Structure 1
């Protein structure tokens, strides 16, 4: 396998040949190292492709079952845990968070609602005090600090991307109700029954097959790093307290931790399956995970605005539903403005479009500089919709 001509494996229906072409083009023109893409339409897999290298040294080929850290694409499965509990009547999305997590009422947060956590409107995008990588990997330390801190803005009024705190906030509510951390809850309720290769964190037994992340420096990434110093305090708290990237995510400590906002590991096929629950209006592979009403609720828009954390890096307003981002007029998840999904730091993506019956999972290990809508992801999304 040469650097310029990686072997692309898997299958792709002839109708979706454009997806294969875009996937190959990502390697030729968009600096892909190793990656996979899976697309389902009405529950049928129409594309399942993988190729390239699973490590920076190009000594391991990306295989059919190669998992990788997908960063914030993990937020979709984490939100799914909360929606399952709400669907069962165990969680009221309009109840105060403190009804389930009493300590959370501190510092003026007694009126923060569960829906504010899901929609990044809780005002807790990051911690005000220094929070180390070790602290982030400690569930009790992180959740205790979140419970004690005050919001950065009036909860419910604006969105501000909760890049790392989202998973601990939603996840602690899941734990208080179910007795399980979200990783264990997801395994019991979804990934285990469906046979989906996705975990929060990474079991030690899978360390030999996981892809190694690489974040290559580029003019765009250097420019972005320089811009960090000009960010407002809330954005710095969300994106750099603590700073985490490929170096941290490749460690055993990161993989052993429970960081539901950012350390989900899985294959593209697994991401497509999990987002396929939303695309299938609550069902996947003949199994019902959510009621149709609960699946629809996930994309209930909470208001368009310039995000308080990501606003400087995005050229448009965005709208978040109850856990996932709406495609909107800018088409992040295809031409249907009510399609929805989530991007991961550096490029990965999960997409759900119930109207078209489409779900997509895209995973990769060479992280790009984009906050969202990485050109590799957008090329694949556009190719899918060109074939419908």
Structure 2
């Protein structure tokens, strides 16, 4: 098939890899972007945005980026930290006093960012509708005891990452995560990315569900971290076409964007705090992102993951990410962003055809490999 967009000659191998995945039937609709510094050297898109209507994936098509959203929430927190509005080394309870109940009085914002807080899910049964009510979802965590000693290794905060940090943002700024991200970061950069999309829904590319997972969460013991984190609540790919889901502000999972907007925003990290001629973060804050905070088998994901401050660092879980001052994260089904501070390269990929599993999907790893082979 013919892709739209552009690709610098030296990155022709990236375009070839993208075209090959479409030709093999692995992609339905997708976008891929590579930035070198502030320059967009690869900006490709193509395929079908909506399988039901055969609407094409065009330049301004956006899709649910699932957990790539977490990197945007982390960015908002660090911008507030650099402005002196909060201190990530302070307890969450300093800004949200109720969170300090039930043995969480010393849990820091940094421990939420690196998934070591012990609050990786809800103890009480939750529905997706419960998540949409941010104050109530947050209040349900306030009385909860940590599931492990805070700071003692990671347990991926699949949904609570967004709920906890969005509540901190609300308490500090008086506004919502989505509004802060739009007014203070995405808007100034002209990045077409939102957490809480209330208009332009005709641009949405609904997710195409992956093949069935090899592990049935319901078959696991009720008290193990993977089941009570990932299975409460469970929602299907079909929800990504639901206007209520799209309009909600779930700072862990429902950011809407494309590869270009993801790369543009995360180029702040790659640029050691600067993007588009503006300073958003200090270099010292960015240095903290790529310092190892925890390294081991994650309690929830079940694979070795090395976390910095809000992002993962190079590890076998994502073989396409090279060693060095590189941070990254991925979304359910395969969306990914990688920020290579040493080489000045930002890579982002957003698609609708989901791969099975939570981490390490093959397509983004092949695209990442193609980028580095092009160098």
Q: What TM-score results when the alignment is normalised by the length of structure 1?
A: 0.93
Which whole-Å deviations, capped at 9, do the CAs of 1:305-352 have from their partners, x for residues lacking one? 1100011xx3xx211111100013565452224311110001101110
SS at match of 1:169: helix
User: CA, structure 1 residues 120+266, in 2 after alignment: closer, same or farther (shift >3 Å)?
Assistant: same
**Pairwise CA distance, 1:190:** 0.5
1:324, 1:341 within 8 Å by CA — same for their partners in 2?
yes
What is residue 237 of structure 2 aligned with on the other side? 246
Distance 1:173 1:227 in 2: 30
What is residue 53 of structure 1 aligned with on the other side? 48
Gaps of 5+ in 1: none
SS at match of 1:45: strand
> Does 1:307 find its partner at 2:298?
yes
> Does 1:73 find its partner at 2:68?
yes
Partner of residue 263 from structure 1, selected from 254, 260, 274: 254
Distance 1:330 1:263 in 2: 23
Distance 2:237 2:51 in 1: 11
User: CA, structure 1 residues 387+156, in 2 after alignment: closer, same or farther (shift >3 Å)?
Assistant: same
> Does 1:387 find its partner at 2:358?
no
Partner of residue 193 from structure 2, selected from 193, 198, 216: 198
Q: What TM-score results when the alignment is normalised by the length of structure 2?
A: 0.96
Partner of residue 12 from structure 2, selected from 9, 12, 17: 17
> Does 1:35 find its partner at 2:8?
no
2:189, 2:265 within 8 Å by CA — same for their partners in 1?
no
**Pairwise CA distance, 1:293:** 1.1
Matches within 5 A, 1:83-98: 83-98=78-93
Distance 1:243 1:328 in 2: 28
Gaps of 5+ in 2: none
> Does 1:212 find its partner at 2:206?
yes
Partner of residue 277 from structure 1, selected from 268, 274, 277: 268
Partner of residue 287 from structure 1, selected from 261, 278, 286: 278
Distance 1:80 1:237 in 2: 27
What is residue 224 of structure 2 aligned with on the other side? 233
> Does 1:345 find its partner at 2:332?
yes
Distance 1:336 1:306 in 2: 19
1:349, 1:377 within 8 Å by CA — same for their partners in 2?
yes
User: CA, structure 1 residues 178+227, in 2 after alignment: closer, same or farther (shift >3 Å)?
Assistant: closer
Distance 2:19 2:9 in 1: 15
> Does 1:375 find its partner at 2:370?
no
**Pairwise CA distance, 1:18:** 0.8
Partner of residue 358 from structure 1, selected from 332, 340, 345: 345
Aligned Cα RMSD in Å?
Answer: 1.4
User: CA, structure 1 residues 229+338, in 2 after alignment: closer, same or farther (shift >3 Å)?
Assistant: farther
Which whole-Å deviations, capped at 9, do the CAs of 1:161-220 have from their partners, x for residues lacking one? 0001101111111111111111111111101111100000212x210111111104x3xx
1:123, 1:154 within 8 Å by CA — same for their partners in 2?
yes
2:217, 2:231 within 8 Å by CA — same for their partners in 1?
no
Distance 1:19 1:170 in 2: 35
Distance 1:378 1:30 in 2: 17
What is residue 181 of structure 2 aligned with on the other side? 186
Distance 2:282 2:117 in 1: 26
2:318, 2:359 within 8 Å by CA — same for their partners in 1?
no
> Does 1:139 find its partner at 2:134?
yes
What is residue 103 of structure 1 aligned with on the other side? 98
1:340, 1:351 within 8 Å by CA — same for their partners in 2?
yes
Distance 1:377 1:58 in 2: 26
Distance 1:334 1:41 in 2: 16
Distance 1:211 1:74 in 2: 16
Which whole-Å deviations, capped at 9, do the CAs of 1:234-253 have from their partners, x for residues lacking one? 21121110002312222111
